[in-house]
Amino acid sequence: MPLTLNAQGSKPNFAGSWAYNASKSDMGQPPQGMGGGGGGQRPGGFGGGDMVVKQDANSLTMERTRQGMDGQAMTTTTKYSLDGKETVNSTGMGESKSVALWSADGKTLNIVTTMSFNFDGQTNEMKTTEDWSLAGGNLTVVSTMNTPNGERKTTRVYDKK
């Protein structure tokens, strides 16, 4: 039991209020057909947005506020289990299924999410891998998104509020 407690204690705690830092983030280029582009936050939900994270030994809850396609602020809440169990979250496009696992050294949280959705009468699947880490007072989330239109890599950086 003490080994488990010591291992948990060495893992980063992402809890807190985080402000999206557009100047340190790299939103990359969207795959063909996804529009927009460049750094910073853009309409459509792929941008940053401030967030509040709650974390305990077994779960992480992220509440993120970002600009929607209509220009209005929209807030989404996503929950993850930190024990490797699959979690299901509802999105505006359907349900997503995620598995969160700590890296071998316990310094990075890896979240793999798969979402199925219907578009133009076809069922599509999108897979996203996120690596969460803390360094220098910043939270960094490196994402790789596999879509029907190609791969997209982004790096979102957040400053602690």
> Mean pLDDT over residues 123-147, rounded?
91
What pLDDT digit, counting tens, does each position of 34-74 carry? 444 433 333 334 457 899 999 999 999 999 888 777 888 88
> Mean pLDDT over residues 136-155, rounded?
89
Determine the pLDDT at residue 22: 92
β-bridge mates for residue 100, sequence order? 111
pLDDT bucket at 9, cuts 50 / 70 / 90: low
- Closest CA relative to residue 82, chosen from 103, 96, 65: 103
- Cα gap 74→85, rounded to integer Å: 28
pLDDT bucket at 116, cuts 50 / 70 / 90: confident
Query: 3-class secondary structure for 84-152?
Result: CCCEEEEECCEEEEEEEEECCCCCCEEEEEEEEEEECCEEEEEEEEEEEEEECCEEEEEEEEEECCEEE
DSSP β-ladder status, 150-160 and 16-20: antiparallel
Are the C-beta atoms of 12 and 134 separated by less than 8 Å? Answer: yes
What pLDDT digit, counting tens, does each position of 14-40 carry? 999 999 999 999 988 765 554 444 333
What pLDDT digit, counting tens, does each position of 71-101 carry? 888 888 999 999 899 999 987 777 899 999 9
Determine the pLDDT at residue 75: 87
pLDDT bucket at 10, cuts 50 / 70 / 90: confident
Q: Write down how long the chain is.
A: 161
The C-alpha angle with vertex 147 and arms to 86 and 159, in degrees rounded to 5, equals 70
